[in-house]
Structure 1
């Protein structure tokens, strides 16, 4: 066998091995995802840089909370398709800031949508306009997010909204739709970008805010996660969605210190990338990346 023929043969063998390895990894990943979804709630805190996006899967239903930034929209679409998402039963756009709805038009265009919720707040930004046009193209109407609104996530699951509690705010962050989700004995609190004012309004309604998992408000900003609010939630796990070396200094040291005083385990997307938690209804564990 000539050297040229041998090299050609070796290259073919290496290519075949590479393909087989890739198929095996993909197959194992699919099996792992399928097993994870069976009789569990899986929550994906998707790394979208300096933004927010969470996918919740339970009882064969899919709920998407926010869609990250415009820059991350293609990454988000790939992630959802990789996880075999065809239909999003519910979408919640917590409030119309670009880092929360930047990818929303693309999501609406690429997937079947059940119900779409958002607060009664508008902006003149391009991403907001694109989102409205995408909804109109599919004849979808926005359902107004309001306290005590419930979403049907199937057996052993509850989902209800806690905010916004006013119709007008000076700060767009306070329009954020916060919601609490329970699966059997596991509880989660999602807070959008609510700041201290909205936190106080939620506290005044005397909701049971205790939660095993807290999606920390406003990327860990110092204007959110007040001591009083965190004391009511008392989370075992806190998730902070933020970008690496972001210009805002998120998460704020004071916020981190308040969480640490509660002995809360903190996971951050700028450090861990996408974070996936799985609950069987009693125990919550973090899946390895």
Structure 2
């Protein structure tokens, strides 16, 4: 798959704002929901110039993720997060580790026996790194943003790794993002019960829009204005499901989809929030 490069201007009220990338500090934070087909990969550039990568797509998407990061002039990665061991999330991370200097790696304390997961572990070891545990309350040491894991809040069965997903809340100024991996309704309920502040302007929809995620109680807790669904075209799983799409529409949440729009890029200066494309499903009362 050829990942499309960013060519469109940002849509921000009535003004046209062009993105600025590179290692130098800027006044804005950028979140790239990279189109990796049926999988997840999210690149974050903070206003202080720090680079964060959450997941790396499937095994065959590693080179695409590396190419995309190179297009954004990434020279090293301060923080890499593997949300959980599923191949469509960690499959490409070994390629990224071989291609960039990575300073810190976070992952939940759950293991897997697949070759893809072993490849990831070996790549981390070969770079002389150790995996730091992603769990509720663990904060990332970033200069200009608040980034803290709000999940997992407890241990789950190792038979299904989705609820183990590392869930990160990132806040810059007045704007916030929630990155959910493949978290399902059990872990969603546990996060709500933990009384954490889960409120976020933008939510990355869990498990590519599967009906086992994005519960009513979770949406009521997060109260997002925008939802991004990372999903492959004509995938065999039926993602995103009609149940999730309808639930988002009922809550009047603006919806973005990588299968229909390619890579989605959000930009915020801590107050204003804009995207490189318009939502597929939009609440007409919200300017974007």
From 124, 138, 147, the counterpart of 1:159 = 147
Q: Summarize deviations over 1:175-226 as a string: whole Å, max 9, x none.
A: 1000110000001111110101100110111111111000000001100000
From 60, 76, 88, the counterpart of 1:99 = 88
Distance 1:99 1:224 in 2: 17
1:47 aligns with 2:47: no
Deviation at 1:279, TM superposition (A): 0.3
Q: Summarize deviations over 1:18-46 as a string: whole Å, max 9, x none.
A: xxxxxxx9xxxxx8433996200100000
1:38 aligns with 2:26: yes
Distance 2:277 2:27 in 1: 19
1:264 aligns with 2:249: no
Distance 2:20 2:224 in 1: 26
SS in 1 for 2:189: helix
Alignment of 1:174-253 (within 5 A): 174-253=163-242
Distance 1:236 1:75 in 2: 30
Equivalent in the alignment of 1:9: none
* Structure with greater Cα Rg: 1
SS in 2 for 1:52: coil
8 Å CA contact 1:148–1:160 kept in 2: the answer is: yes
Distance 1:101 1:271 in 2: 23
Q: Which runs of 5+ in 2 are unaligned?
A: 1-6, 8-17, 279-288
Structure 2 length-normalised TM: 0.87
Deviation at 1:287, TM superposition (A): 2.0
Q: Which runs of 5+ in 1 are unaligned?
A: 1-24, 26-30
Structure 1 length-normalised TM: 0.86
Distance 2:235 2:80 in 1: 27
Aligned length, in residue pairs: 259
Distance 2:21 2:37 in 1: 27
Deviation at 1:72, TM superposition (A): 1.4
SS in 2 for 1:38: coil
8 Å CA contact 2:34–2:262 kept in 1: the answer is: yes
Equivalent in the alignment of 2:114: 125
Distance 2:247 2:32 in 1: 24
Q: CA RMSD in A?
A: 1.7
Deviation at 1:70, TM superposition (A): 1.0
Higher RCO (CA 8 Å, separation ≥ 6 residues): 2
Return the structure number with greater helix share: 1
SS in 2 for 1:123: coil
Deviation at 1:135, TM superposition (A): 1.1
